[in-house]
């Protein structure tokens, strides 16, 4: 039996009080008498058949009948009745001995034993009652014997029946009182043991419940740990195999963890970057303002998002888009930094290529009309703010339709490409913008160029095209390809919009064509002083 057994130290499985002990003693005594007294009863019946029914034989048979009745029906009889029947049987046997043999030690001992058992089973009060009852019987029998009313098989009576009765009474009372004190002590001890047993049972049950709760809590914690461990492993695997770089540093920025994508991106191994900071990758091209904003944001406890220009181990530069977050403890102190970074070098190159394509004429590789209009608007605004001149050239390939009709469109495309080559070199400066405006029309924006400088560039373009000597036998102007150029200049302090400047250049081009083509024509100063 263990502490987990529900019957362990259960009140029902132990004597709960003195009555439990007494009940068990009565049942045991009844059982023993049923078994042990049967031979004596059989012998008494045999003797009665030979010599007659003496009082002691009748008493034994009657007592056994009472015990048999109590033993058979003990499960249906209350405790007090069973105990009373047991004492009655003993008293009847003692009375039979007394009536048969007189006041002998056997009969009186029988009375005393009944009184002793009464003390044990029913308490001191019942023991005193039976002891006094035995005294009364002894006195009555002695008095009757002394007056000749009773005769016994064993012979005459004692000379002093009064002294004998008093001696019996003293012995019986002494035993009853002594056993009563012992009985009281045992009862108190049993009650104390019972209370202690109950407390112990309650403590054991409470401890058992606590152990069950602890085991249940441990099981729940183990389950949580298993689930969390699985999640951590899954997260770790995801971080290791993610295509983006993951970096974890301490509060000082010292690298503590990197995944495979990071090492592939920068070219360094984990051993090479262990104990280093991300400054190892710095190329010096990330603006200082970006770095300052990075630390201001992180130290304020917020996530930072931006870009770095870094340098790999082999010296090549690459661009990273980064998301960096601070990890804080419960008190808000930063403990770690977690960075997720994506190499966007190819994306930036593709974006720049797409931007160039969106702003570049595919045939001539010059700026297209959209890029030209944006650039013109920007330069007009800048010249207006700075109070500086701005010139715009607009030129057209003379008789280009005839050229296409004569030589074909492929030849026409090659001719336009060669003319565009002249625009990118003839007399131009780094800040100028050459563009294909549409068809065979081109434009050149000359920043900070007055009318004289613009005329110089226009003449250089005119000569450069003539030097190409592209045959044009259908031209009514010359046997080779020529261009006409119109110039519009924005004078310092003038207030004019980009569209107006473009119209002036277009008008000047129209005038150049009207004057016979293959020439330069300047419009009047654009705008009026502000």
Determine contact, residues 67/33, Cβ cutoff 8 Å: yes
Nearest CA-CA partner of 444 in 520, 525, 334, 355? 520
Question: Active site includes 440?
Answer: yes
| Catalytic residue chosen out of the listed positions 97, 108, 379, 440 | 440
Separation CA 291–CA 309 (nearest Å)? 11
Q: Which helix (H) or strand (E) holds 100?
A: helix 79-101
Separation CA 30–CA 34 (nearest Å)? 6
Which value, to the nearest 10 degrees, does the dihedral of the CA atoms of residues 221, 226, 227, 231 take?
A: 130
Separation CA 396–CA 512 (nearest Å)? 10
Separation CA 147–CA 282 (nearest Å)? 137
How distant, in Å, are the alpha carbons of 45, 62, 100, 327 from that of 48? 5, 14, 13, 107
Q: Please give, one letter per residue, the 3-state secondary structure of 462-528.
A: HHHHHHHCCECCCCCCCCECCEEEEEEEECCCECCCHHHHHHHHHHHHHHHHHCCCCCEEECCCECC
Looking only at the bridges linking them, the beta strands covering 520-522 and 483-490 are parallel
Burial 62-93 (b: 16+ CB within 10 A, else e): bbbebbbebbeebeebebeebbbbbbbbbbbb
Residues 6+ apart with CB under 8 A from 471: 479, 480, 481
Helices 79-101 and 124-146, axial angle in degrees (round to 10): 20
Separation CA 487–CA 351 (nearest Å)? 35
The SS3 call for residue 305 is strand
Residues annotated as part of the active site: 440
């Amino acid at each position: 039996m263990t502490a987990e057994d529900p019957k362990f130290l259960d009140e029902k499985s132990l004597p709960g009080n003195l009555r439990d002990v007494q009940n068990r003693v009565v049942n045991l005594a009844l059982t023993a008498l049923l078994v042990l007294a049967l031979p004596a009863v059989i012998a008494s019946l045999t003797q009665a058949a030979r010599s007659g029914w003496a009082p002691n034989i009748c008493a034994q048979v009657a007592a056994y009948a009472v015990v048999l009745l109590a033993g058979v029906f003990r499960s249906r009889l209350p405790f007090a009745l069973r105990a009373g029947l047991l004492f009655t049987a003993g008293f009847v046997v003692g009375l039979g001995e007394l009536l048969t043999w007189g006041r002998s030690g056997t009969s009186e001992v029988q009375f005393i034993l009944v009184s002793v058992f009464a003390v044990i089973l029913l308490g001191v009060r019942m023991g005193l009652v039976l002891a006094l009852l035995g005294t009364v019987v002894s006195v009555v029998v002695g008095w009757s014997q002394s007056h000749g009313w009773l005769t016994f098989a064993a012979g005459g009576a004692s000379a002093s029946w009064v002294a004998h009765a008093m001696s019996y009474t003293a012995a019986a009372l002494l035993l009853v009182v002594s056993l009563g004190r012992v009985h009281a002590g045992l009862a108190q001890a049993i009650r104390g043991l019972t209370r202690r047993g109950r407390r112990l049972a309650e403590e054991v049950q409470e401890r058992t419940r606590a152990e069950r709760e602890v085991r249940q809590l441990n099981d729940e914690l183990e389950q949580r740990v298993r689930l969390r461990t699985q999640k951590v492993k899954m997260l770790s695997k995801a971080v290791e195999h993610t295509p983006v770089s993951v970096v974890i540093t301490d509060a000082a920025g010292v690298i503590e963890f990197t995944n495979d994508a990071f090492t592939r991106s920068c070219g360094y191994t984990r051993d090479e970057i262990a104990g280093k900071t991300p400054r190892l990758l710095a190329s010096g091209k990330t603006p200082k303002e970006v770095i300052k904003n990075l630390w201001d944001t992180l130290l304020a406890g917020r996530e930072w998002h931006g870009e770095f220009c870094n340098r790999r181990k082999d010296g090549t530069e690459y661009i990273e888009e980064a998301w960096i977050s601070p990890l804080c403890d419960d008190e808000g102190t930063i403990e770690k930094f977690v960075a997720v970074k994506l190499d966007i070098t190819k994306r930036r190159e593709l974006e720049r290529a797409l931007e160039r394509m969106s702003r570049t004429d595919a045939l001539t590789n010059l700026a297209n009309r959209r890029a030209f209009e944006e650039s013109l608007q920007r330069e007009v605004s800048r010249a207006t703010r700075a109070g500086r001149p701005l010139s715009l050239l607009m030129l057209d390939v003379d008789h280009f339709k005839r050229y296409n009709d004569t030589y074909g469109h492929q030849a026409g495309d090659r001719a336009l490409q060669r003319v565009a080559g002249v625009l990118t070199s003839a007399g131009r400066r780094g800040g100028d913008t050459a563009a294909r405006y549409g068809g065979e029309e081109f434009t050149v924006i000359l920043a900070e160029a007055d009318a004289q400088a613009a005329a110089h560039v226009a003449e250089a373009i005119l000569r450069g095209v003539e030097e190409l000597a592209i045959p044009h036998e259908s031209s009514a102007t010359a046997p080779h390809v020529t261009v006409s150029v119109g110039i519009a200049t924005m004078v310092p302090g003038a207030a004019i919009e980009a569209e107006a400047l473009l119209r002036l250049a277009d008008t000047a081009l129209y005038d150049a064509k009207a004057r016979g083509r293959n020439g330069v024509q300047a419009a009047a100063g654009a705008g009026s002083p502000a």
